[in-house]
Structure 1
Amino acid sequence: MRPKRKSFTLTIPRPLEEVWEFFSRPENLNEMTPEHVSFNILSPIEGQEMYQGMIIQYQISPILNIPMNWVTEITQIRKHEFFIDDQRVGPYALWHHQHHFKAVEGGTEMTDILHYQVPFGPIGAIANWLFVERMVGDIFKHREAAIEKLFPST
């Protein structure tokens, strides 16, 4: 299976600095992840702003409540502009997630660019077609709704 590319853009009605402050704290991922994924951060990161080289360990159960370990690294960061997390250990053959932020009239434009690839060749391609691609899309839809609740229009 070739890597898939997904892009999601959302305007958040808050200043760039406020939005960056929230998204630069990995512990806030819990507030944007669907409950059924059973997302649990294992690393002691509470109260820490992310930094380049930061390793974050999670346990997730996205399919049939089967627990999986997931380890990501913050590989690049430019304060108030972008950060990138790459999977080091986990369910994907490739997970490269770019988070871009830009001040715009009325708030902050946030763009996520995700490249992912499911392992196991043809079997992975079938799994992606059957449920993984939809699951990734649903997670980002949930994230968008959570962000709208966390940062409502004033």
Structure 2
Amino acid sequence: MKTYERRWEQFIPISIDEAWDFFSSPLNLQKITPADMKFIVTSSYTPDTKMYPGMIITYKVSPLLGVKLNWMTEITHVQDKVYFVDEQRFGPYALWHHQHHFKQVEGGVLMTDILNYAIGYGPVGLFANKVLVEKKIEQIFKYRTKAIEEMFGK
């Protein structure tokens, strides 16, 4: 099975405390996900819930062609105001390992996302990645960049 790695960096002109407060709340993910994905957190968390190692988050999502899927991730690692990792436990990918890193820099925070993923189904998965999945992931992260800029500035 082929695995893929993607990286994105974004400067956000806010404090590390503000960045961590926003990104460590599972309910805020919906705010930075394209509306056409119909992304809904189905876990019963409150807006002040912060992630912790072992936390399970469930979602409903329509990533491709309007097909509704259940998705479950686990927060496997957390270092306060430095990074956290979410890993898929159930969902559309054979592998999903997403690192979120935060670094205080002059004038704000440098946020780095590192995504490792794989799609099963052998040659069909390779084809699906090239034709659909890779482009969709790129679209999601472009949208996320824009949404974060609109909320917090450039």
Distance of 1:75 and 1:142 partners within structure 2: 25
| Aligned equivalent of 1:138 | 139
- In the alignment, structure 2 segments of 5+ residues that lack a partner are none
Shift of 1:138: 0.4
Letter paired with 2:15: P
Q: List aligned pairs for 1:73-152, cutoff 5 A.
A: 73-152=74-153
**2:116 counterpart SS class:** strand
**1:31 counterpart SS class:** helix
**2:110 counterpart SS class:** strand
Distance of 1:124 and 1:81 partners within structure 2: 33
| Aligned equivalent of 1:7 | 7
Distance of 2:95 and 2:14 partners within structure 1: 32
Distance of 2:118 and 2:132 partners within structure 1: 13
Letter paired with 2:41: I
**1:124 counterpart SS class:** helix
Instruction: Tell me which stretches of 4 or more aligned residues in structure 1 moved more than 4 Å.
Output: none
TM-score with structure 2 setting the length: 0.97
Distance of 2:35 and 2:121 partners within structure 1: 27
1:52-73 deviation digits (Å, cap 9, x = unpaired): 1000000101122111010000
- In the alignment, structure 1 segments of 5+ residues that lack a partner are none
TM-score with structure 1 setting the length: 0.97
**1:6 counterpart SS class:** strand
Shift of 1:2: 1.1
Shift of 1:119: 1.4
Q: How many residues align?
A: 153
Distance of 1:110 and 1:19 partners within structure 2: 9
